[in-house]
Chain A
């Protein structure tokens, strides 16, 4: 079974569709031209047949048409005894057996002695002839069509066919006016006419075979059917009565065209048992009848339809054969693809040395094989490399994790910071950007009344920065414990850091000492950001202070001691630049403004919550963007419980 979305299905369906359309187009073109050719030959046949019928009818009519003309001429030129005319007519009928009867009808009172009517009439009978004068028994022939129409028109006239009295045959009368010269004036004298039965003529047409079920018919000048295979139409129905009864105006138009004397070949407005018909009609010049030949289209095109059906079947058979062949070829050609798919799946599952299909041809499949093979090799090598790299990375990461633990262990993380000293509300946090950060903070009691606290930011990150930070932390704490002022602590620490600082690392650092009795703070700054002082709720500001050189840069750097006093419940908020430079995805910085706003708004909260709130705001601001720098915050609030005197020394 071919899958609908498979390559074979696509190739076969599209190929077959195209071939099928192409063949159909060819078949249609063939059909069109063959049909045209058959139509043309049918037209020729129809015209030939029509002309043949016309010729056959005229062959019957023309020789007898001359008879009354001759007689008319004779009557005009010679003088006859009126009573001798019967024998004249008898002789004519003797010579022309197709004539049924003949009459010489004089105009009223032509022979005054004969009265109004004088019309010798001779009719052929089974044995001999019947003679009579037409005017007898009240028959006023002067008003009959056969007399009146040619008499009025003064021209020969074929009457509209009628039922004759004898045997009720369908008859027609051909009448020719004749003249006499009376007193030098050629005057109309009467009509010579013969009657003939149409049975023979109509039978000729009725019995003509047109293909299997085609037919021919005759239409009179008035559109009446004179010969038709439907016997009951004959003499009763005209094209116009049929059109009216069938409520079919198209038929009426055809009838009008016929009685106008048109000749036409083409589609017939009528169908037979729902099948189309083709008609040819042409006038019979003698008496203005119409001869029509009707061809059933299905018979006309029977051979074409048969041939087209065979061709169509052959086409279908050919398409099926083509489909099978193409399917086999395509299947054979793309079989390696299926095998490659299997191999690819196995490789994807990790079996890199899976067996590739064997390609013997030197075509695109071979190229695919080479590519696959190369890919297999490359993958194997890559995976090997990856394994090694991953192992190395894991080792490094493991060491970094240890280093971080060490680093974090170097900053105090136990809160409350001084459980025995309620006047110190201090909380700090450090969040590294990488595994091991370069920020630091620290706080410790120098003596009973003084607490040292520091915050700093090493110029780099990672293990070296952590080591530098550890060193700085240790030095600051050691120097502070030795009782030095903040500036001295920084100077000493700087000097020591500058020794053997081959990596040229440096650190910004803020160091302060709080007198826990008075709230006075002495501090020195080595290039660190200014801190925020929360004076009261909704009142905080960045405290201006001396900039100071960063530690570790120059041995000779000097620092300045500065002082301030924390009033009860006032808070110092120190931080590293990781806070203000925290960035969102669009590289917008958190900024000092926003930090001050937050501190200002939430400065009344306990330090733990204040810092947590600040961290939350930063987190909300960066919206998951990766942290690029360490973030360190330290908040110190002075909450004295005892009366502090101004005489108490700041540092003992």
Chain B
């Protein structure tokens, strides 16, 4: 059964909650928890990841919002 292979809810031993994952590379989540305040002096880690570490992701997301607004405008525009 495939669902049973998923880690149970809240399991600390799951691969995404470790500092080093099974293939030997560092896991992003533990790094963010450890270094977020040291790098930016901002207590909210989600804001730091959103606007600093993954700012390019957020830039693309803002552009998606802008493209959605432009798309609605051109779909529903009254032709005069």
Say whether A and B bind each other: no
